[in-house]
Amino acid sequence: MGNVTRFIPALMMVMLLPHFVVSFSIKTTTNINTDQSALLALKAYIVSDPQKMLKTNWSTATSVCNWIGVTCGSQHQRVIALNLSSMLLTGTIPSQIGNLSFLTSLDLMNNSFYGFLPDQFTNLHRLKHIDLSWNNFYGEIPYSFPKLQYLSLRNNIFAGEIRSDMFEHLPRLQVLSLTLNKLSSEIPMGLFKCKELQVIDFGYNRMMGGIIPKEIGNLTMLRILRLGGNMFEGKRIAIGWYSRFLLSSA
């Protein structure tokens, strides 16, 4: 009787083992398919691909990790980087982009993407690098990226005020480039909470205001500050560790 009692649990484990294996495989496949579906949605939103980069390469016949511009992590085989820079692409960004939950780097610079960035964009909490420069994006500047270090939105059509509270969600930011847009706010005070900032470029917008707030002295790592081409009022001033910069419309 004792042998039979011991045999039953062992038999149950043998019977259940395939279910555990199948369940794990389905979960892994779903994760890979999630990334693939997100990228295929992006491909579907491309209205012009003159070099046929995505049309000929992004196919379900091959692994998403082998697609042009895509980099996958070695451990989890999820998409960690997407680089479609200078591919002459025209299109918009679908909401499914927010499903690339392992993405750490996104580079779409020097294309003709346009329109609003979807709300789901801020689901990409692992992002450290965003370069959307030289496109035609507009609307609200994306934020809420706790690990983001590099943000370049230069030469787009972002307009209006910069939300001061957005910088509370960018604690690791080191490089911020918003030059060549249509921003019209003063320098947001929240910016000075980003203690790791090394580069700030607000050049050639419609920003205004007087003397730069003294709180800029809190940014002890700041090396480059570009403000030219705006409507600031003032003159050359010295701020402690920082030598001189020009507050003018030049």
Measure the CA–CA gap between 16 and 114, rounded to whole angstroms. Answer: 51
DSSP 166: G
Contacts 24+ apart (CB under 8 A), 237-242: 237/211, 237/212, 239/212, 239/214, 241/217, 242/216, 242/217
- Residue 249, pLDDT > 80, answer no
Give me the chain's average pLDDT, please.
86
**pLDDT tens-digit profile of 205-236?**
999 887 788 888 899 999 999 999 998 876 54
CB burial class (10 A; 0-12, 13-18, 19+) of residue 149?
middle
**pLDDT (average), residues 104-109:** 99
Query: What pLDDT, on the 0 to 100 scale, is given for residue 244?
Result: 40
DSSP 203: -
For 178, the token pair is: 């918003």
DSSP 4: H
Question: Are the CB atoms for 163 and 141 separated by under 8 Å?
Answer: yes
DSSP 218: G
Give domain limits for the chain. Answer: 2-245
Query: What pLDDT, on the 0 to 100 scale, is given for residue 210?
Result: 76
**Dihedrals φ, ψ of 178, to 5°?**
-120, 20
Rg from Cα positions in the chain: 24
- CATH no. of 2-245: 3.80.10.10
- This prediction has a pTM of 0.83
